[in-house]
Amino acid sequence: MSGKLLVVLDPGHGGRSPGAVSRSGLREKEINMAICLAAYQALEGLAEVLLTRQGDENVTLAQRAALANAARADCFVSVHCNSSVDRRARGTETFCFPGSAAGRRLAVLLQQQLVRSLYLPDRGVKIARYAVLRQTRMPAALVEVAFLSNTVEEELLRDQVVRQNAGRALARGIGEFLGL
């Protein structure tokens, strides 16, 4: 490591776990990876960046947290797409672990940047005890970029430009959090 701040980006799911799958077959794991790669590129030169997975591979939740902990990351961001039985559900939401003031600040900055960039409804910052938030020892947030179960948002997530914008928005939020 070069002494730069270290960011761990977690493209949710992968391998046998596709995550949410839209009616047309769009798989969350592929969108998450594309968004993380865009964030990775936007952060290059500003911070060291590690991905919890390099391709379409199985990585457990515990392994994701352990990688970030072992690397002594300065922050951890897990990227996901939402899904609901209510196909009208829309928007972006971000989660942080209860009692983590730094995690909440990271989540707020990520949420603000995503909503500004994607123009989706702001579902807010929420508290959750997800494994990757609970098991990491650094400020951590989990973003749900948009709903794959909503046909309008599915089409947005299919668009490479939207994925790039989401990744750059995450990079801006991380940069603001870390003072880059």
Q: How confident is the model at residue 3 (pLDDT cuts 50, 70, 90)?
A: confident
Of the candidates 90, 95, 91, 59, the one whose C-alpha atom is nearest the C-alpha of residue 79 is 95
Q: How confident is the model at residue 165 (pLDDT cuts 50, 70, 90)?
A: very high
pLDDT tens digit sequence for 101-116: 999 999 999 999 999 9
Report the pLDDT value the prediction gives residue 1, as an integer from 0 to 100: 45
Can you say how many angstroms the Cα of residue 82 is from the centroid of all Cα atoms in its chain? 11
Give the single-character DSSP code of 132.
H
pLDDT tens digit sequence for 80-95: 999 999 999 999 999 9
pLDDT tens digit sequence for 29-78: 999 999 999 999 999 999 999 999 999 999 999 999 999 999 999 999 99
Of the candidates 146, 144, 164, the one whose C-alpha atom is nearest the C-alpha of residue 155 is 146
Sign of the alpha-carbon dihedral angle for 5, 11, 173, 143: negative
Report the pLDDT value the prediction gives residue 90, as an integer from 0 to 100: 98
Alpha carbon distances (Å) from 30 to 1, 79, 127: 28, 11, 26
Q: How far apart are CA 68 and CA 58, in angstroms?
A: 16
Percent of the chain with pLDDT over 70: 99
HSE-up (13 A, CA, CB side) for residue 143: 33
HSE-up (13 A, CA, CB side) for residue 82: 23
Mean residue pLDDT of the chain comes to 97
